[in-house]
């Protein structure tokens, strides 16, 4: 793995597993500068909120594998559902064919969602789910003969994915894709309407460009990957009202916030907002298999019904609606129905507020904030690799980014493990600021 490589805990005494050492020269890691990134930890098993490492150690996972593992690792109900489906039908294309798991899941998602969000288009990642939503919004107007409405309005501080269309609606200056500014299509990226002046500015932009803008997109209540930035239900209502007033399609990106993460099943429920399109992913399968969904209202769907074949939505990911992934998602929905996930989020929120509060007075700390099962310590600056190493030494897996240390644990995490996470977060911040 190279003489300069150190193990993630800073030592050199433990040799990596053969598969890690042999594969390292050929892997390209996500969101990592490969010249300086520490070697990854070899994970050989996981249960509930704990990761079992190849060297025998265990880490408490404080980020639920990028916010996906809602019900804990290796939940027997999801595992058994996937195993049963594997015996029946692992996959079949949805182009001209159908299978039970996808159709059942579509019906159930429509039942979970508010209003007339009834038409479910499956994909295999959150970025693609957002791409599909943008495409739906633009083609909705194209099908009506309004050919100029191909722009999207999004908000500063937002993040919607890593593909080219989604990068274009992320924060163009402070987001992780600022490098591509100039290569991306130019969209309207404005301030969240958190006060009267910014609300007026939003309405002026929408009015001025009413013939250009197809849709308004926002992450409701929490802008996740851009730094876990919170905004109020009232702000979300202002966005929804402005979109409606100016005749725009409203898209809510609930890929991170959906499925109880903010304390309600969907963040939109806290504002009483029903969008035209919603994007779902992350916890949809309980962190088991990749699956995402773009769910449209009947109004949007009817905009594609025509005798003209060109009016159809010409999109179709090869593995869309994969039977194993849909089986996992149906089992995950079972657990959201049967087990007290909303109460779990409330329990975690209480523990996070109590456990992270001591960080508020520490040097270098800008803010401490909690919403649902999301806890954040915002710092003036940080050294991500150093902090990650310190967290590993304390037995927790925390992955700082931007200028924040945060936790989004599985809803099933025990109180003792949760306390270890918050204690580690406060201690590491105290030690390094």
Point out the residues that are catalytic.
31, 159, 253, 282
* Contact (CB, 8 A) for 344 and 321: no
Residue 17 CB-half CA count within 13 A: 12
Dist. CA 264–CA 233, nearest whole Å = 12
Give how far the C-alpha of residue 191 lies from the chain's centroid of Cα atoms, to the nearest Å: 21
Beta-carbon contacts of 253 under 8 Å, excluding residues fewer than 6 positions away, are: 130, 133, 160, 217, 218, 219, 220, 279
| DSSP conformational letter for 221 | S
Identify the sign of the CA torsion 16, 22, 23, 28: positive
Q: Is 250 left (phi over 0), alpha (psi -120 to 50) or beta?
A: beta
The vertex-102 CA angle with 71 and 287, nearest 5°, equals: 25
- Helix or strand run (H / E) with residue 365: strand 365-371
For 111, 159, 160, 337, the CA distances from 77, given in Å and listed in that order, are: 21, 32, 31, 13
Dist. CA 129–CA 295, nearest whole Å = 9
Dist. CA 368–CA 189, nearest whole Å = 27
Nearest Cα to 281, choosing from 399, 90, 412, 121?
121
DSSP string covering 278-306, please?
A: EEE-GGGGTSSS--EEEEEEHHHHHTT-S
**Edge-to-edge, what's the strand order for the sheet holding 43-47?**
43-47, 50-53, 58-61, 396-397
Beta-carbon contacts of 200 under 8 Å, excluding residues fewer than 6 positions away, are: none
Nearest Cα to 75, choosing from 412, 347, 414?
412
Dist. CA 87–CA 78, nearest whole Å = 15
């Amino acid at each position: 793995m190279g003489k300069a490589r150190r193990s993630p805990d800073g030592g050199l005494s433990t040799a990596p597993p053969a598969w890690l050492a042999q594969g390292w020269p050929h892997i390209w890691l996500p969101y990592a500068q490969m010249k300086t990134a520490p070697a990854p930890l070899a994970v050989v098993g996981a249960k509930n909120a704990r990761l079992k490492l190849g060297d025998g150690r265990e880490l408490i996972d404080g980020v639920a594998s990028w916010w996906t593992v809602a019900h804990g690792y290796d939940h027997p109900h999801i595992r058994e559902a996937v195993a049963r489906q594997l015996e029946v039908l692992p996959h079949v294309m949805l182009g001209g064919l159908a299978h039970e798991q996808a159709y059942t899941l579509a019906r159930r998602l429509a039942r979970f969602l508010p209003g007339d969000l009834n038409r479910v288009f499956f994909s295999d990642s959150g970025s693609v789910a957002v791409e599909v939503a943008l495409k739906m919004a633009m083609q909705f107007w194209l099908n009506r003969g309004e050919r100029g409405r191909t722009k999207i309005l999004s908000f500063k501080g937002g993040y919607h994915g890593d593909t080219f269309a989604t990068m274009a609606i992320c924060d163009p200056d402070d987001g992780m894709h600022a490098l591509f500014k100039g290569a991306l299509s130019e969209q309207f990226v404005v301030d969240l309407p958190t006060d009267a002046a910014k609300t007026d500015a939003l309405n002026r932009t929408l009015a001025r460009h009413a013939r250009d803008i197809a849709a308004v997109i926002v992450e409701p209540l929490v802008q996740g990957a851009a730094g876990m930035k919170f905004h109020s239900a009232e702000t979300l209502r202002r966005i929804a009202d402005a979109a409606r007033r100016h005749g725009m399609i409203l898209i809510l990106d609930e890929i991170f916030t959906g499925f109880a993460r903010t304390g309600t099943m969907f963040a939109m429920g806290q504002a009483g907002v029903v969008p035209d399109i919603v994007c779902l992913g992350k916890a949809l399968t309980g962190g088991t298999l990749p699956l995402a969904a773009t769910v449209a209202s009947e109004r949007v769907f009817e905009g594609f019904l025509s005798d003209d074949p060109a009016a159809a939505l010409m999109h179709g990911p090869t593995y869309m609606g994969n039977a194993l992934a849909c089986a996992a998602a149906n089992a995950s929905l079972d657990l959201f129905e049967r087990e007290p996930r909303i109460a779990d989020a409330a329990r975690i929120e209480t523990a996070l507020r109590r456990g992270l509060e001591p960080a508020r007075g520490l040097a270098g700390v800008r803010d401490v904030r909690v919403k649902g099962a999301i806890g954040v310590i915002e710092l003036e600056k940080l050294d991500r690799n150093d902090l990650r190493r310190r967290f590993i030494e304390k037995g927790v897996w925390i992955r700082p980014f931007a200028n924040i240390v945060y936790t989004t644990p599985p809803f099933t995490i025990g109180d003792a493990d949760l306390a270890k996470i918050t204690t580690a977060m406060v201690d590491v911040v105290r030690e390094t600021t």
